[in-house]
Chains A and B, each alone.
Chain A
């Protein structure tokens, strides 16, 4: 019974944790600019992250290692540090985007410009981590994230063109601005296949002392949680296609985002959107800051654990403090959260091979996984997607920034 409850909770929190500034923004841009044509990218992202989450849970349950820990052990210090620096850089940008998301949510309600809120938001996230426990973050905040179901309700209420929607499941070439199309496609992938998610998940599995008996529930949580999360992301895209596209609004200012819900529901919609953004982004902020601290602490063999008192793992606690501080400063100096989000999602896509390929090699190592290693299909599909996403991102980032469209 307890196991069943934890599975249900796991699924619900995965759904609640799926959306954040990155996935909302990229899906909204896709819907606004290309209507249903990029649904395939959202679904592909959801499938990939479901596969990766399943792998990271399986890895933790069978090998009793977290990913960062095993990457250091298996590949040595050089192959640990180089990706670590790169991922830290990208993650801090993503973290800043999330803090920006929370600050923007407050701006929507109060009307006071977002940079003012950066420091209070950073402090709030830090307080949750410093004084809170793992379950407050995992179960409390992400549970509140269920408010994002509002997007599903809005999508159904607005009534999408089901034929066009189904047609969007198959990838197709765009009628206009191909480089922009591919830029958004890889940004969607970068937003859903966030490496911090599986670093976070595997550390959680170790904190909860999973063993091989958890493999079934792990598969269920990863599949159902990420699957439903993907649906919500599709719902955001659909709402954008129905609300923004007909008016010719291309999401290039963050102030346009609340239109997604305020357009059908008025002031209540604005409130629901702001609350959704607030809750999901503060959740993502704590998860990313923790994931970075996990990665560093595990790689260097320190004590780590969200449930320890900060005096029990001072190095770990101060790592997330510094990371949060850096990201908060980026928002406080007034960098546009929407630009930061778009760029950081594309950079995440560009860096996917660095984050994922070492992990895939581990997933095929019998010394860690025994008989539970990956099958060739799982390997190949993840490998192809992350390499392609990276190549397209590297090509399209300069085009997008230089071309200005």
Chain B
């Protein structure tokens, strides 16, 4: 499925705005400036500012399929170790470039991005 990025009528004056479907971003692989993969988009976090909700962070991880398998493995005793081996990244909005929604990139190198302990968000 390709990300929908159709131009639509701007809500306010100024540069034209674009719509992106959040669902189409999910699962997209995020790369850093050096082409290093940070994982797939799993979660998008918004914050209320005035009447609007603005996107402040994106969480990238192993993707839905692997996440589901990990959840199943967590049903078994002592499988918490598997969960810990997964790497997730918290990418701030200012570090993200979504100008091509099919190929999300960060504006910084991967070592400048917060690495998350698994399970936290």
List chain A positions with a Cβ less than 8 A from chain B. 75-76, 78-79, 357, 360-361, 364, 376, 379-380, 383
> Are A361 and B71 neighbours in the complex by a CB distance under 8 Å?
yes
Contact B72 A357 (CB under 8 A): yes
Minimal beta-carbon separation of A218 from chain B (angstroms): 22
17 extra interchain contacts, Cβ-Cβ under 8 A, other than A357-B75, A361-B75, A383-B75?
Answer: A75-B68, A76-B64, A78-B64, A79-B68, A360-B72, A360-B75, A361-B68, A361-B72, A364-B74, A364-B75, A376-B77, A379-B75, A379-B76, A380-B75, A380-B76, A380-B77, A383-B76
A361 vs B72: C-alpha distance when bound (angstroms): 6
| CB of A364, distance to nearest CB on chain B (Å) | 6
Bound state CA distance, A277 and B72, in angstroms? 39
The interface residues of chain A lying within 8 Å CB-to-CB of B71 are 361
The A interface, classified by DSSP as helix, strand, loop or mixed, is helix
Q: Which of B68-83 contact A (CB under 8 A)?
A: 68, 71-72, 74-77
A-B contact count (CB 8 A): 24
- List the B side residues contacting A380 at CB < 8 Å: 75-77
A-B residue pairs in contact (CB < 8 Å), sample of 24? A75-B68, A76-B64, A78-B64, A79-B64, A79-B68, A357-B72, A357-B75, A360-B72, A360-B75, A361-B68, A361-B71, A361-B72, A361-B74, A361-B75, A364-B74, A364-B75, A376-B77, A379-B75, A379-B76, A380-B75, A380-B76, A380-B77, A383-B75, A383-B76
Q: Give complex CA distance A361, B68 in Å.
A: 9
Q: Which residues of B contact A361 (CB under 8 A)?
A: 68, 71-72, 74-75
Give the Cβ gap from A30 to chain B, nearest Cβ, in Å: 30
Report, as a range, how many residues of chain B touch the other chain: under 10
Taken together as a complex, chains A and B put the C-alpha atoms of A235 and B21 apart, in Å, by: 58
Q: A27–B75 Cα gap in the complex (Å)?
A: 31
CB contacts (< 8 Å) of B75 on chain A: these are 357, 360-361, 364, 379-380, 383
Q: With A and B bound together, what is the CA distance between A75 and B68 in angstroms?
A: 8
Report the Cα distance A79→B77, complex, angstroms: 24
- Bound-complex Cα distance A379 to B73 (A): 11
Give the CA-CA distance A40 to B86 in the complex, in Å: 41
* Interface residues of B, Cβ cutoff 8 Å to A: 64, 68, 71-72, 74-77
Task: Give bound CA distance, A380 to B74, whole Å.
Answer: 10
In angstroms, Cα B72 to Cα A383, docked, is: 10
Q: How far is the CA of A360 from the CA of B73 in the complex (A)?
A: 11
Q: Could you say which residues of chain B place their CB within 8 Å of the CB of A383? A: 75-76
B77 CB contacts on chain A under 8 angstroms: 376, 380
Q: How far is the CA of A79 from the CA of B69 in the complex (A)?
A: 12
A168 to chain B, nearest CB (A): 30
Q: Residue of B at shortest CB range from A384?
A: B76
Chain A residues contacting B64 (CB-CB under 8 Å) are 76, 78-79
A159 to B71, CA, bound (A): 49
Task: Name the distance in Å between A391's Cβ and chain B's nearest Cβ.
Answer: 16
Task: Name the distance in Å between B118's Cβ and chain A's nearest Cβ.
Answer: 16
CA of A75 to CA of B72, assembled, Å:
12
**CB-nearest residue of chain B to A353:** B72
Considering the complex, give the chain B residue whose CB is closest to the CB of A383: B75
- Chain B residues with CB under 8 Å of A78's CB are 64
Name the residue on A nearest B76 (C-beta). A380
Bound CA–CA A380/B77 (angstroms): 8
CA separation between A376 and B64, bound complex, in Å?
24
Complex Cα gap A360–B76 (Å): 11
- What chain A residues lie within 8 Å of B72 (beta carbons)? 357, 360-361
Closest beta carbon of chain A to B16's beta carbon, Å:
30
A141 CB to closest chain B CB (Å) equals 35
Alpha-carbon separation in the docked complex, A364 to B75 (Å): 8
Residue of chain B at shortest CB distance from A363: B75
Which of chain B's residues have a CB closer than 8 A to the CB of A379? 75-76
Which partner residue on chain A sits nearest B71 by CB separation?
A361
| Bound Cα distance A357, B68 (Å) | 10
Min CB distance, B73 to chain A, in Å?
10
Return A193 CB to nearest CB of chain B, in Å.
Answer: 17
User: Which 9 pairs between the two chains have the least Cβ-Cβ distance?
Assistant: A379-B75, A361-B71, A376-B77, A360-B75, A383-B75, A357-B72, A361-B72, A364-B75, A79-B68
For the complex formed, measure the closest distance between the CB of B56 and the CB atoms of chain A, giving whole angstroms: 21
